Structure 1
């Protein structure tokens, strides 16, 4: 398989237990179906929360996940010939990549993140996320406004039983949280989040940077464009799954680009930034998010290149997003 960036390696067994992986897909409103979640395994398949395009984050220590949600007003396209759908996938998806934000030369602002020590109590955990959010905003706002998009902040809700504009949070064994574009909020219930990540700084930093990447996709119109394209393909078809992978891998790359501008400044040392990028290798293989090595490679691509134009998964060949 052709890959992007550095080849991912299996986690070093001596470095400790492999932490959870994320599997998410953007949605502006979430509605679960009756499908049973996949059992944990070497290459689990997550439920495709189909009335919408979910962004689910599932983790290997306990089966956890994070969702992102856009609403679908139109019904799915009728079943079409798989080969025919495959022939048109690249041309239709490539149009999403013509977004002004993804032009070559879009480099995020360098930022110095002043992060407090990560602690498990709600007040301190909230302070940690709030500090990183300020950093993410300083990095992304100039890029978004420079590309002609209005900027809007996002909030993080740590409530253990939140009420979201996108619907009820999925059960704890199916999701860690969700990003809801309807109320521009990242929901990360404290209890679930700590069970999934513990107090590993790199995991929390990578997660929030990835979820913020979905917020950037929302603000720039990438999510709505993807939602439009999604209705052209039969549910669960190869083009349908490929679209989801391109969304997820782009969010990884956006996270890497942010870490490039924060690396070696303030609280995010070069070592911590590299650990956060490498944390994406803990995201296990998924047909909705890509192989674990591909997920890490797109994060590495953003980190090594810095230029958001290199995060254009929509113009990448299909073999780079598997």
Structure 2
């Protein structure tokens, strides 16, 4: 809040002059002009501050994070609502992304994902640097059994999943669920990379800390999971917008991807189809990490 003392803090030896200064229309216009100038300066320097989540009210209070851990003495779970990634309006960097042709062969799919991850590394580099986070490239595998956390999904088979720094894209599962539509593969990869960003920023560990306080599969526990997944949806929408700017996707394809409803199959843990679409569109439209603050969003936005 700006509060100035101005002429009110000074005495004038001429009473009539003081009275005129306090009531003159020119003086009032001058004050209004000064206020307008300050507001205009804020908008020009930081236009995202006018959008949801980007008012900057919590800037300067978020802790430093290294290797996914906040600075000593800071409650890990507090990184959900107060994380440097989402308390600042950060945007993805431009890339020189060139992707190979996507086919159903194991070799071509692996090559496509590896190149895609490099594009994501480039795009997210500015955000991670801006939030004071370390950069690290995730591993990519097509083997669903290569992870010790496959059992965390229970009886539900996901299309893909992220675990301990590795993006798992089982070839048979992916082809069964989305075929060879290139845009869908790129958005799926961007969603799982969003989880990688959550890991580097401490959000993933913080969500586990909060979930450990709750009964497994309870409504409160599932709400934590949905906020995590919907944030990854928002991050994927940001990357799709970046891919349009970099000539990787055409705008029509991108708008169709972010505008399509999500899957109802995993609604309990990933959010309703409408909310999955809502958060993808938010990332695509706003292009700012501040738009992806699912942890402070109202309940109806994360159902």
**TM-score with structure 1 setting the length:** 0.65
Match among 212, 227, 246 for residue 231 of structure 1 = 212
Query: Which residue does 2:146 correspond to in 1?
Result: 163
Match among 54, 68, 82 for residue 98 of structure 1 = 82
Match among 188, 212, 224 for residue 207 of structure 1 = 188
Give 1:112 deviation, angstroms: 4.2
Distance 1:145 1:95 in 2: 17
Distance 1:167 1:269 in 2: 35
Query: Which residue does 1:283 correspond to in 2?
Result: 263
Distance 1:170 1:97 in 2: 25
| Dislocated runs of 4+, deviation >3 Å | 92-95, 165-173
The structure in which a higher percent of residues are helix is 2
Query: Which residue does 1:38 correspond to in 2?
Result: none
Match among 111, 114, 117 for residue 127 of structure 1 = 111
Give the 3 Å change call, closer, same or farther, for CA 189–169 of structure 1 in structure 2: farther
Query: Which residue does 1:59 correspond to in 2?
Result: none
Match among 155, 158, 165 for residue 175 of structure 1 = 158
Determine helix, strand or coil for the equivalent of 2:162. Answer: strand
Give the 3 Å change call, closer, same or farther, for CA 307–175 of structure 1 in structure 2: closer
1:2-22: CA deviation from partner (whole Å, max 9, x where unpaired): xxx9xxxxxxxxxxxxxxxxx
Give ranges in structure 2 of 5+ residues lacking alignment.
Answer: 1-51, 53-75
**TM-score with structure 2 setting the length:** 0.69
Give the 3 Å change call, closer, same or farther, for CA 167–310 of structure 1 in structure 2: closer
1:101-142: CA deviation from partner (whole Å, max 9, x where unpaired): 112321111334312221001111112112211111001122
Does the 8 A contact of 2:102 with 2:109 survive in 1? yes
Query: Which residue does 1:116 correspond to in 2?
Result: 100
Determine helix, strand or coil for the equivalent of 2:85. Answer: helix
Query: Which residue does 2:232 correspond to in 1?
Result: 251
1:321 and 2:294 matched: no
Give the 3 Å change call, closer, same or farther, for CA 271–131 of structure 1 in structure 2: farther
Query: Which residue does 1:309 correspond to in 2?
Result: 290
Distance 2:79 2:300 in 1: 18
Does the 8 A contact of 2:78 with 2:206 survive in 1? no
Bigger Cα Rg = 2
Distance 2:184 2:193 in 1: 14
Give 1:266 deviation, angstroms: 2.7
* Higher deviation after alignment, 270-279 or 125-134: 270-279
Does the 8 A contact of 1:112 with 1:266 survive in 2? no
Give the 3 Å change call, closer, same or farther, for CA 170–227 of structure 1 in structure 2: closer
Does the 8 A contact of 2:79 with 2:203 survive in 1? no
Determine helix, strand or coil for the equivalent of 2:81. Answer: helix
Give the 3 Å change call, closer, same or farther, for CA 139–117 of structure 1 in structure 2: same
Does the 8 A contact of 2:99 with 2:112 survive in 1? yes
1:144 and 2:124 matched: no
Distance 1:102 1:173 in 2: 30
Give the 3 Å change call, closer, same or farther, for CA 246–135 of structure 1 in structure 2: same
Does the 8 A contact of 2:262 with 2:274 survive in 1? no
Distance 2:254 2:136 in 1: 25
Distance 1:170 1:236 in 2: 12
Give 1:259 deviation, angstroms: 1.4
Distance 1:99 1:194 in 2: 35
Give the 3 Å change call, closer, same or farther, for CA 123–310 of structure 1 in structure 2: same
Distance 2:79 2:156 in 1: 36
